[in-house]
Chains A and B, each alone.
Chain A
Amino acid sequence: MGGKIEKTMIFGIASPYRLQWEDAQDSYVLLYPEGMVTLNRSAGEILQLCDHTSTVSEILTQLGDKFQGADIEADVLEFLEIALARGWISNE
């Protein structure tokens, strides 16, 4: 682990996954052929910022604003690494 995520990288949700908010579950979910991953709150917040345009730096800034400066960088980078390894996101 470690070292794979650069702050200049830009991520988007990778095919065949689709990120969607589900009212009924009060959660973001990742949908794929005949399957679904229900995301916890922080995972959902991070993935919905993976919009094919924002850099990791920009995502960190946005989340930092949202969570009022909490030290989230290590957690976010770690999650992005997991999401990349699982094929949920791809590097543009």
Chain B
Amino acid sequence: MNNSHRPLWLLAELTYACPLQCPYCSNPVDYASHGRELDTDTWLRVLREARALGSVQLGFSGGEPLVRNDLEILLREAASLGFYTNLITSGVGMDNDRIKNFRELGLDHIQISFQAPERELNDYYAGSAVFDHKLSMARAVKENGYPMVLCFVIHRDNIDRVEDIIRLALELKADYLELATTQYQGWALINRDHLLPGKEQVEQAERVAHEYQNRYQDRIKIYFVVADYYENRPKACMNGWGRTALVVSPDGTALPCHSARILPGIEWPNVGNHTMEWIWESSPGFNRFRGDDWMKEPCKSCSEKSVDFGGCRCQAYLLTGDPSNADPVCDKSPFHHVILESTARRESAAEPDQTGAMFFRNPKNSDKLS
């Protein structure tokens, strides 16, 4: 086994519970009907087995991982195993004492998500009055000596504010800023007509981001996740299926990406029944789209197949009905028109209704949409 086939990045989705209701949430739409959360001992075993397989970056995520009251136990074990530990949080559920204690337990880094660079829009998207708390938690993270990533999911309502976002990140002394273009799956796909920005908005935001990337490169690293709906080649989703990432969801289902569960005809392994080694090496799910034997044309004979791996399997399934198809973002795909139609619909649409157009991510809507 070499580094092109090793679960270097372990994402531990500890819970789907979350105090926020972001309408672009990457959790499954039907999360409310999922099974019981793993217990502490199973998580501890998952951490040990994954570390032995070579996992080295660990993300505690969710939902909101701070909701789990055994987070401190898992964190201490992860640090002692030699993981680089990342806490990926909304900041809600955190306070100064907990931040300080996490540091003593060995937490390496905290990523805080924001919805917007100002209170009104932030709290509208979060579905909760949390902006001021996020600001104070971000300051506390830096005061406790952590490196800090700020993550803003980018969509039509905040993309024109990229300059304000960067200024806020600089003011909060963030080390990294992720401008995370919305990925149109799950909740975000349901809300796509509302969330998708126009082409001019994307181009302007990228110009601003690049200008600041250069001007402040000594103070902050700014990542702009590519807006694939406006590209003609797909993203190299997850750096390839089963190549570097292993996601364990709250009920123990192990996945090569956080949304792969939607794909049809795959029986996903659960960490409660299998070792991490079997899951990574041998489970049918992790091998389903590994390598390129599964590819059809136009991917099969494409010279770029080792660059983008045919794009995103979930996007291929959601937009073409077959996860073995090329990601329709690719203009070689016979289904590329579905992307063009959604961006054209966006360009011709009037401003959406701000008061009730979106499905916010909460248990009630999850039940309704399941």
Residues on A close to B: CB < 8 A?
15-16, 18, 20, 22, 24-25, 29, 31-36, 38
Contacts and interface: CB of A to CB of B under 8 A. Distances in A.
Given A34-B57, A34-B59, A15 B147 contact: yes
A33 B86 contact: yes
Given A18-B108, A32-B84, A34-B9, 17 more contacts: A15-B147, A16-B109, A24-B56, A31-B56, A31-B84, A31-B108, A32-B147, A33-B109, A33-B111, A33-B147, A33-B148, A34-B57, A34-B59, A34-B86, A34-B111, A34-B149, A35-B57
Q: What band does the interface of chain B fall in when counting residues whose beta carbon is under 8 Å from A?
A: 20 to 34
Main secondary structure of the interface of A (DSSP, over half): strand
Interface string B71-110: 0000000000010101000000000000000000000110
Contact of A24 (B9, B53, B59): B53
A28 to B, nearest CB: 12
B321 interface: no
> 6 tightest A-B contacts by CB?
A24-B54, A16-B147, A31-B84, A33-B109, A33-B147, A33-B149
20 contacts: A15-B147, A16-B108, A16-B109, A16-B175, A20-B84, A22-B56, A24-B6, A24-B53, A25-B6, A25-B54, A29-B56, A31-B56, A31-B57, A32-B147, A33-B86, A33-B108, A33-B148, A34-B109, A34-B149, A36-B57
Contacts of B9: 34
A24 to B, nearest CB: 3
A4 to B, nearest CB: 15
Interface of B: 3, 6, 8-9, 53-54, 56-57, 59, 82, 84, 86, 108-109, 111, 147-149, 175-176
A75 B84 CA distance: 30
B49 to A, nearest CB: 13
Nearest to B217: A87
Nearest to A20: B82
A25 B55 CA distance: 10
Contacts of B175: 16, 33
Nearest to B218: A87
